[in-house]
Amino acid sequence: MPSNKSVSDAPIVQFTNCRILRDHRLQREDLWVREGKILNPEKLFFDEKGSADVQLDCKDSIIAPGFIDVQINGGFGVDFSLATDDFKLGIDLVSQKILSHGVTSFCPTLVTSPPSVYHQVLPQISVRNGGAHGAGILGAHLEGPFISKEKKGAHPEHCLRTFEAGAFQDLLAIYGTLDCVQIVTLAPEMRRSSEVIQELTKRGICVSLGHSVANLSQAEEAVQHGATFITHLFNAMLPFHHRDPGIVGLLTSDKIPAGRRVFYGMISDGIHTNPAALRIAHRAHPKGLVLVTDAMAGMGLAPGRHTLGQQVVEIDGLNTYIAGTKTLSGSVATMDTCVRHFQEATGCSVETALEAASLHPAQLLGIEHRKGTLKYDSDADFLMLNESLYVQATYIAGEEVWRQDVSGM
């Protein structure tokens, strides 16, 4: 049947023989796409009297929304915290390479750096749609330098900053611009952090709590002022204590403002978080869990010495340390690996594992009306996966941008 061209001349593609993740469950339905958007077939049939121009047999694949990585420091030899002459080529390389791991949108992340790095790098990061060239860029994640010296982790101590009398102006002076910034990680126990959180939130920037020695009441106050995220839960914060659970206590706090959800990032690589801790967090607050890779330049490369901003790091298998120490420093895990490990470690459903890398990060950033979902009229950014959650193909705006080489399957 020819499609009705009165509404649009764009071809309609019907993906058949698949299970679609929609409304929190896998449903045996077809997926319809036109002009980069998910199409409602009922409207097509009854309002437009149309049908598909192209039918694609998905061979019983799972179709899920594309993964969104809100904390990735680099990969494939590229470090987002280094101000190089070819920075744009580097970000293009990473955005292209992560397509094979199911990532269709991401937030390039800068660790604590000197002001000169922010001033050189941030103007070179621009929010853009994904496509054959690579995953879309949602804006930068600035992790530091307004963090705790005690919980600095792999961040260079000489670059750490506190808020002085200027507070928000101090932050602006360090970063130089907030035009492309999506997330800022800071330590909420710092003096004047509340006014900074309010100012950032006013500008639509997500504030995340991390690299911190905050107690629970300080963390709750930060949330009351607008913070909505926790950077890599359990890592670089006070350990859970039954009399003062610290930032971890936000997962079950009764002081969260009505209608607000606190999200938390987890590095599900089997290294940064013990599977038991992953299970505790997931069972305590399943709808807030956001999988992040925290991947750095060494992701996708051989073991050895690489960089993370101002630091030299060593990779040994999946372990990454500041050179000469046992301090963990980012990961080399890919997002699809994190999804599979999360599902295996927690025993959660396939739907839950996939939503932790798609729907939840989209909700965190307030873009769930167009990303992280396969609802009608949302962006047609999606993956085909097999039963074991290995990515077979990646689509952005309805176009295939990566496919597993059949010979390599």
Model pLDDT for residues 313-329, shown as the tens digit of each residue = 999 888 899 898 988 88
Considering the domain 65-365, what is its CATH architecture?
Alpha-Beta Barrel (3.20)
Residue 407: the pLDDT is 55
Which ranges of 122-230 does DSSP label H, i.e. alpha helix? 168-175, 193-202, 216-224
Is 154 annotated in a binding site? The answer is yes
- Tell me if 17 sits within 8 A of 58, measured CB to CB: yes
Cα–Cα nearest to 63, from 97, 33, 94: 33
Is the model's pLDDT at 347 over the cut of 80?
Answer: yes
Start and end residues for every CATH 3.20.20.140 domain found in the chain = 65-365
Is 330 annotated in a binding site? The answer is yes
CA 313 to chain CA centroid, nearest Å: 22
Which position has the token pair 């993740």? 21
What does the CA dihedral 330, 394, 20, 269 come to, rounded to 10 degrees?
-20
Q: Report the alpha-carbon distance of residue 130 to residue 116 in Å, rounded.
A: 28
Is 24 annotated in a binding site? The answer is no
183-197 pLDDT per residue, tens: 999 999 999 999 999
Cα–Cα nearest to 398, from 133, 51, 35: 35
For residue 322, the number of C-alpha atoms closer than 13 Å in the C-beta half-sphere is 12
Residue 6: the pLDDT is 45
Is 211 annotated in a binding site? The answer is yes
Q: What is the arithmetic mean of pLDDT over 360-388?
A: 98
Q: Does domain 12-64+373-403 have CATH number 2.70.98.10?
A: no
- Tell me if 251 sits within 8 A of 281, measured CB to CB: yes
Q: What is the arithmetic mean of pLDDT over 338-364?
A: 98
For residue 289, the number of C-alpha atoms closer than 13 Å in the C-beta half-sphere is 26
Is the model's pLDDT at 1 over the cut of 70?
Answer: no
Is 220 annotated in a binding site? The answer is no
Start and end residues for every CATH 2.30.40.10 domain found in the chain = 12-64+373-403
Q: Report the alpha-carbon distance of residue 333 to residue 339 in Å, rounded.
A: 10
Q: What is the arithmetic mean of pLDDT over 211-232?
A: 98
Cα–Cα nearest to 159, from 144, 176, 177, 140: 144
Range in 165-174, 317-326, 353-362 with the lowest mean pLDDT: 317-326
Which position has the token pair 């962006």? 379
Is the model's pLDDT at 83 over the cut of 50?
Answer: yes
Give 7's pLDDT tier (boundaries 50, 70, 90): low
Is 19 annotated in a binding site? The answer is no
Is the model's pLDDT at 282 over the cut of 80?
Answer: yes
Give 72's pLDDT tier (boundaries 50, 70, 90): very high
Active-site residue, from 294, 336, 379, 381: 294
Asked about 294 being catalytic, the answer comes back as yes
User: E strands of 362-405, at which residues?
Assistant: 382-385, 391-396, 399-403
